[in-house]
């Protein structure tokens, strides 16, 4: 058990709908990362938050948005869902963001949310 | 060409065999991670390294920064090692923050 929790575990919805995925980081971790794992694209970095602020963006679509709340939990909002959005969505947390040349952060992954868009 | 390449894609071994999974990358990195993804989907961080070699139980990870190459070795493999092993590199983004770029993974099956 990594200490990172994600809800729900599974989500089945229809095209065009909107869903919210939730992540609670490990106690004491300030950084939250969101990743998407699809069959054809593998794991991809979506977005990172640190202590409530967006810090880095990856391959995140405009239909997707995220935020990190004062209690450090994070939500990933996916809207106007398409069939291709079906994937495993992972959240990970670490103590702090990494700055090159200083120190390195191990990321602890949650169990993931499996999203199926029908 | 992908920025992180893993080989082999699939690997089958008999229990007790020595296993090597390779990772090559083409970008500048600050660290390299080896992750294990279980059949149920959960991801566990195995190693994070920026130079040299690390060992944890039967697992050994090495990295050669000059050659942009890392290897993950499993000694005395066991069926419970069956999983997907993913190499990920940390690259520097503007603002001093890093992101992970993932390889496609190596699916390992160890048979008794």
Query: Average pLDDT, whole number, for chain A?
Result: 90
Give the residue among A14, A27, A15 at the shortest CA–CA distance from A94: A27
Could you give the count of Cα atoms lying within 13 Å of A19 in the half-sphere of its Cβ? 22
pLDDT tops 70 at residue B25: yes
CA distance A8 to B94: 33
* Rg of chain B (C-alpha set): 14
% of chain A at pLDDT higher than 70: 92
How many residues would you count in chain A?
Answer: 118
CA distance A110 to A100: 25
- Asked if B39 is an interface residue toward chain A (Cβ–Cβ < 8 A), one would say no
In chain B, how long is the greatest CA-to-CA distance? 49
Output the pLDDT for position A98: 53
Output the pLDDT for position A100: 45
Min Cα distance A102 → chain B (Å) is 9
Q: Phi-psi region for residue A80, left (φ > 0), alpha (ψ -120 to 50) or beta?
A: left
Query: Average pLDDT, whole number, for chain B?
Result: 92
Which residues in chain B are closer than 8 Å to A92, comparing Cβ atoms?
43
Q: Please answer yes or no on whether A42 and B103 come within 8 Å at the CB atom.
A: yes
Convert the pLDDT of each residue in A49-95 to its tens digit.
988 999 888 889 999 999 999 999 999 999 999 999 999 999 999 87
- Asked if B2 is an interface residue toward chain A (Cβ–Cβ < 8 A), one would say no
Q: Which is more confident, A57 or B20?
A: B20
Q: Please answer yes or no on whether A99 and B88 come within 8 Å at the CB atom.
A: no
SS3 at position B80: helix
- Model confidence at A18, in pLDDT bands (50, 70, 90)? very high
Q: Which is more confident, A40 or B71?
A: B71
CA distance B78 to B110: 6
pLDDT tops 60 at residue B48: yes
Q: Which is more confident, A39 or B81?
A: B81
CA distances from B81 to A24, A39, A111, B5, B84 (A): 28, 22, 19, 21, 9
Output the pLDDT for position A41: 81
Output the pLDDT for position A99: 52
pLDDT tops 70 at residue B104: yes
CB burial of residue B54 (10 Å; 0-12, 13-18, 19+): middle
Q: Which of A100, A103, A115 to mutate to test the interface with B (most CBs of B within 10 A)?
A: A100
Find out whether A113 and A88 touch, Cβ atoms under 8 Å.
Answer: yes
- Model confidence at B14, in pLDDT bands (50, 70, 90)? very high
* Rg of chain A (C-alpha set): 14
């Amino acid at each position: 058990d990594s200490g990172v929790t994600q809800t729900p575990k599974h989500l089945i919805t229809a095209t065009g709908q909107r869903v919210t995925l939730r992540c609670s980081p490990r106690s004491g971790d300030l950084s939250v990362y969101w990743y998407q794992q699809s069959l054809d694209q593998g794991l991809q970095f979506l977005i990172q938050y640190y202590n409530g602020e967006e810090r880095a963006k990856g391959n995140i679509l405009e239909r997707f948005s995220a935020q990190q709340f004062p209690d450090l939990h994070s939500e990933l909002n996916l809207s106007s869902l398409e069939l291709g959005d079906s994937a495993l969505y992972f959240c990970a947390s670490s103590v702090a963001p990494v700055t090159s040349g200083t120190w390195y952060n191990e990321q602890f992954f949650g169990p993931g949310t499996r999203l199926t868009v029908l | 060409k992908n920025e992180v390449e893993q080989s082999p894609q699939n690997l089958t071994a008999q229990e007790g065999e020595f296993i090597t999974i390779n990772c090559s990358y083409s970008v500048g990195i600050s660290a390299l991670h080896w992750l294990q993804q279980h059949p149920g989907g959960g991801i566990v961080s195995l190693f994070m390294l920026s130079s040299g070699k690390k060992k944890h139980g039967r697992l050994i990870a090495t990295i050669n920064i000059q050659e942009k190459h890392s290897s993950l070795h499993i000694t005395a493999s066991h069926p419970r090692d069956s999983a997907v092993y993913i190499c990920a590199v940390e690259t520097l983004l503007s603002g001093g923050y890093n992101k992970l770029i993932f390889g496609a993974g190596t699916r390992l099956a160890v048979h008794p």
